Amino acid sequence: MLDLFSEEAPWQEPLAEGATILRRRAREEAPALIEALLAVAQQNPFHHRITPGGHRMSVAMTNCGDFGWSSDSRGYQYTEQDAENGRKWPPMPLLFRQLALDCAREAGFPQFTPDACLINRYAPGAKLTLHQDKDERDLRQPIVSVSLGLPAVFQFGGFARGDATQRVLLEHGDVVVWGGPSRLRYHGILPLKPGDHPLAGAFRYNLTFRRAF
Ligand code: MD3
Ligand code: FE
């Protein structure tokens, strides 16, 4: 039955405890978001990091905000400067910050204030293997993710790497807020299929807003 008094909008669904998908929430803002992320990348180009294990990541990354996440042979860390060029990360565009705050509030996290935004760029074939995000100081803070451009299959599992996984298609404009117990779930992205998106061309972009410190 249609519940007119439901607290949740129909496009807002729980994925798991503490995780909410806001389908197409960022559709209207998407052209401006893409323009802003390309401007960030002009100041600090996308780069394929090397993992501590010595592998070149297929996903290209840059960051904006007070802190940025990166990896090198010594490990993963949040830093105020890009070790690649010694410069501070570009500031987080106001539009980014506002969207992250609004989505976090809508999903039940009104106190969220991101200090870091990691920007991932996927070309065809790029993937992210199952991992946990646990380099942030306060794991009670959620992560807000925004998908732009080509669609991708997102995998999310349990609290151990070998746990069963679910698959969810993440499309242009989809926002997911990961908090509560879902914050430590293993997750990843299957290899991107080639395509041509009207706003993003051959790429998928993902913004993740975080409270690093
Ligand atoms: C679940 N990014 O940057 S977004 C990452 O699409 C990352 O680029 C993927 O995983 C991407 O770390 C997935 C969805 C996401 C982001 C962070 C999470 C899911 C999460 C943190 C905890 C649990
Ligand atoms: Fe992650």
Q: How many helices (H) and strands (E) does the chain have?
A: 2, 13
Proximal ligand: closest to the CA of 186? 1
Ligand lying closest to the C-alpha of residue 120: 1
CA distance 72 to 53: 9
Length of the chain: 213
Distance 134 CA to ligand 2 centre (A): 9
Mean pLDDT value across residues 97-102: 98
Distance from Cα 42 to the centre of ligand 1, integer Å: 23
Prediction pTM value: 0.95
**pLDDT (average), residues 39-65:** 95
pLDDT at 157 over 90: yes
Buried b (16+ CB within 10 A) or exposed e, 118-136: bbbbbbeebbbebeebeeb
What is the pLDDT at residue 13? 80
User: Is any ligand 1 atom within 6 A of the Cβ of residue 208?
Assistant: yes
Write the CA distances from 52 to 67, 71, 73, 77, integer angstroms.
20, 7, 4, 11
Percentage of residues in the chain with pLDDT exceeding 90?
86
**In the beta sheet, which residues pair with residue 209?**
117, 144
